[in-house]
Amino acid sequence: MNLNLTLIGQLIAFTIFVIFCMKYVWPPISGALAERQKRIAEGLDAADKAARDLESAKSQIEDELKQARSQVTELVEQANKRSSQIVEEAQDKARAEAEKILMSAQAQIAQDAAQARESLRADVAKLAIVGAERVLGATVDQAAHKKLLAELAEEL
């Protein structure tokens, strides 16, 4: 009977121990495990969120880089167009200035030629009058006539 009574005593002691553990020991352990599980889950969620944020940031950076590259390309094209336009404008101005100078020179040449013609006409008229006066005022002999013509030729 000792064996049975000992077994029952141990069973009662074990039951009391289990009840005591369930009431006083298990809740803090269970709470600590739940808290630990919660922190691990939060850590995993934070890691997942960080990974998503990283991917989003990478995507956003790539988009911004593409946009910046396209803007740079556009700016370079605009600069090239503007430089071509400036060169073309300078060439047009140079052509216009050259044409203006050419027209001015041609007008000056024409004016100088007209002035020279007028001067020549006046000189020829004077020479003709002088020649006629000499011819008419002098005797009409052949030697004097040849001499006057030679003098007129030298003066011209």
Residue 146 lies in a domain: no
Kindly state whether residue 36 falls inside one of the protein's structural domains. Answer: yes
pLDDT on residue 131: 73
Q: Is there a contact between 118 and 108 (Cβ–Cβ < 8 Å)? A: no
For the entire predicted model, the pTM comes to: 0.43
Has residue 65 been placed in a domain? yes
| pLDDT score of 123 | 77
Flag residues of the chain having pLDDT under 50.
none
pLDDT of residue 142: 66
Range of the domain at 25: 2-118
Which pLDDT belongs to residue 124?
A: 73
Residue 132 lies in a domain: no
Asked whether residue 100 is assigned to any structural domain, the reply reads yes
Number of domains in the chain: 1
Write out the DSSP string of 11-70: HHHHHHHHHHIIIIIHHHHHHHHHHHHHHHHHHHHHHHHHHHHHHHHHHHHHHHHHHHHH
C-alpha 73/C-alpha 139 separation (Å) is 97
Is 54 inside a domain boundary?
yes
Judge whether 53 lies within some domain: yes
- Asked, for residue 143, whether it belongs to a domain, the answer is no
d(CA 17, CA 38): 29
Write down the pLDDT at residue 156.
Answer: 62
Confirm if 130 and 109 have CB atoms less than 8 A apart.
no
- Residue 62 is predicted with a pLDDT of 95
Q: Look at residue 114 in the predicted model and tell me its pLDDT.
A: 87
